[in-house]
């Protein structure tokens, strides 16, 4: 029997790109369950674009349109067009600083994931690590979730806790949350691509239901 085709993934990133690198490296080692076929950034100066070029991953800057916090509808169209041209079947948000709306989410229904630097539903929105640190929590962490039209509130696929240690400052805590993200995101993408799961209400139940691409 012929091998199943490799699942092609697209990553959207606005900044540093450390999660993009973790995903691309996991793919290169065969640990992601798919290959990273394209990186798209809304910021021409995003370091993520340079990382992609260094790693040999096709990379594009695409104009996000005039709004600061979302992709304009015509931009969503451009983004979906580029992802489709590259054969992308699922999209991984990795520090992408714009909310996606129907134009995008209907094109990639049930196939968009995000990573957030807190244990959701605590501290959604910007600067999740700072919010948790300033709140004085003893444990924070990171969350990988399915993306819907809400802000950081789609069904949770996985979480990883990070304790706040005596003597931590925002910088040291941020570094440990990032380390946790770089483990959690690739391992959750692999699970998402390879294991069946059901979404029951808000709960993701692994091992029940179907694989993501047969829903």
* Contacts with ligand GRF, residue ranges (CB under 6 A): 13, 15-19, 94-95, 115-117, 181
Beta strands at 35-41 and 8-12: parallel, antiparallel or unpaired:
parallel
**Taking Cα atoms as reference points, which of 9, 173, 160 lies closest to residue 94?**
9
Q: How far is the CB of 3 from ligand GRF (least distance, A)?
A: 31
The residue whose two tokens read 């509808």 is: 73
C-alpha–C-alpha distance, residues 4 and 15, integer Å: 33
CA distances (Å), 211 to each of 8, 9, 18, 24, in order?
16, 16, 28, 22
> Which alpha helices (H) appear in the chain, and where do they start and end?
18-28, 47-55, 73-85, 102-107, 128-135, 170-194
77, 86, 101, 116: the catalytic one is 116
Q: How far is the CB of 133 from ligand GRF (least distance, A)?
A: 13
Based on the residue annotation, tell me whether 116 is a catalytic residue of this protein.
Answer: yes
Q: How far is the CB of 182 from ligand GRF (least distance, A)?
A: 8
Identify which of residues 14 and 87 has a Cβ nearer to ligand GRF in the complex: 14
Identify which of residues 19 and 188 has a Cβ nearer to ligand GRF in the complex: 19
How many CB atoms lie under 10 A from the CB of residue 111?
21
Nearest-CB residue for ligand GRF: 95
Identify which of residues 57 and 94 has a Cβ nearer to ligand GRF in the complex: 94
Identify which of residues 17 and 33 has a Cβ nearer to ligand GRF in the complex: 17
Q: How far is the CB of 17 from ligand GRF (least distance, A)?
A: 5
Q: Which helix (H) or strand (E) holds 162?
A: strand 156-163
The residues annotated with a catalytic role in the active site are 116
């Amino acid at each position: 029997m012929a091998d199943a085709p490799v699942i092609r993934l697209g990553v959207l990133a606005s900044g540093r790109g450390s999660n993009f690198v973790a995903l691309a490296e996991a793919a290169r080692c065969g640990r992601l369950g798919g290959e990273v076929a394209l990186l798209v950034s809304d910021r021409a100066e995003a370091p993520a674009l340079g990382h992609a070029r260094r790693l040999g991953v096709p990379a594009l800057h695409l104009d996000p349109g005039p709004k600061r916090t979302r992709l304009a509808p015509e931009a969503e169209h451009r983004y979906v067009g580029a992802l489709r041209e590259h054969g992308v079947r699922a999209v991984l948000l990795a520090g992408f600083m714009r909310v996606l709306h129907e134009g995008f989410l209907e094109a990639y229904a049930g196939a968009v994931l995000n990573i957030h630097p807190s244990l959701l539903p605590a501290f959604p929105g910007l600067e999740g690590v700072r919010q948790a640190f300033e709140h004085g929590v003893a444990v924070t962490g990171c969350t990988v979730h399915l993306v819907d039209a809400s802000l950081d509130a789609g069904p949770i696929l996985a979480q990883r806790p990070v304790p706040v240690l005596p003597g931590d400052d925002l910088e040291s805590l941020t570094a440990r949350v990032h380390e946790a993200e770089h483990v959690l995101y690739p391992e959750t993408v692999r699970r998402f691509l390879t294991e069946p799961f059901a979404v029951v209400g808000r709960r993701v139940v692994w091992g029940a239901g179907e694989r993501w691409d047969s829903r």
